[in-house]
Homo-oligomer: A and B are copies of this chain.
Amino acid sequence: MSQALPATIPASLFEQRADAIADAARELSVLGWTPATSSNFSMRVDADHAAITISGRHKGRLGRDDIMLIDLDGNAVGTDARPSAETALHTQVYRRWPEMNAVLHTHSRTQSVASRLFAADGAVRLQGWELQKAITGYHTHESVLEIPVFPNTQHMPELVARVDAWLDAGKPLHAYLIDGHGIYTWGRDMAETQRHLEALEFLLDCELDLKKLRAS
């Protein structure tokens, strides 16, 4: 492993995070949500650092060597490896919410298609689905779960600014879509984050199916 660690981070801690990321990535790859080396994943290591996937690797076959340490400004720490191009979207989560410890970004067909379909509306609004209760803080199908769709760009600061603007307007945010691209979601630990992602994919799938059927 070409990853050197700061004295304050024990190897066992970094390895635990790397293994948790690789395990989650393998499950998501089998589902087909990480096509053609897309998608990226991270976990917080401590108040100032996160572990994140190195750019361009096949997400179904990650090992510890495919995960690297960064600081919360997105700089590589103790390695020459290049973090994902979208690292700034991960560190934004860790900086804004001290209680959040994992971020998953996937790229399923449903996520890509839903983002295109609802891009003009600026958001997908979900209501009436029992599974909304799988998102932490939701206790009834009668609530509205709003997932913004931001325009895609190859320039990350634009996206960071859009997320900040949404949050600074005081709106709740548990996940967001990027147009033609995929989804970002997070949670207090990897299990909660995976549950959020699984529920969001299910809800988007249901919403698209219902749209097709209601038109018929």
Do B141 and A180 touch (CB < 8 A)? yes
Copies in the complex: 4
How extensive is the interface on chain A, given as a class? 35 or more
Q: Any chain B CB within 8 A of the CB of A208?
A: yes
Q: For A215, what are the chain B residues with a Cβ–Cβ distance below 8 Å?
A: 215-216
Nearest to A191 among chain B residues (CB) is B58
Q: For A202, what are the chain B residues with a Cβ–Cβ distance below 8 Å?
A: 35-36, 109, 112
Partner of A152 from the list B130, B139, B154 (CB cut-off 8 Å) is B130
Q: Any chain B CB within 8 A of the CB of A116?
A: yes
Q: Any chain B CB within 8 A of the CB of A9?
A: no
Do B36 and A141 touch (CB < 8 A)? no
Bound-complex Cα distance A214 to B216 (A): 8
A contact residues vs B (CB 8 Å cutoff): 35-38, 107, 109, 112-113, 116-117, 128-131, 134, 139-141, 152, 154, 178-182, 195, 198-199, 202, 205-206, 208-216
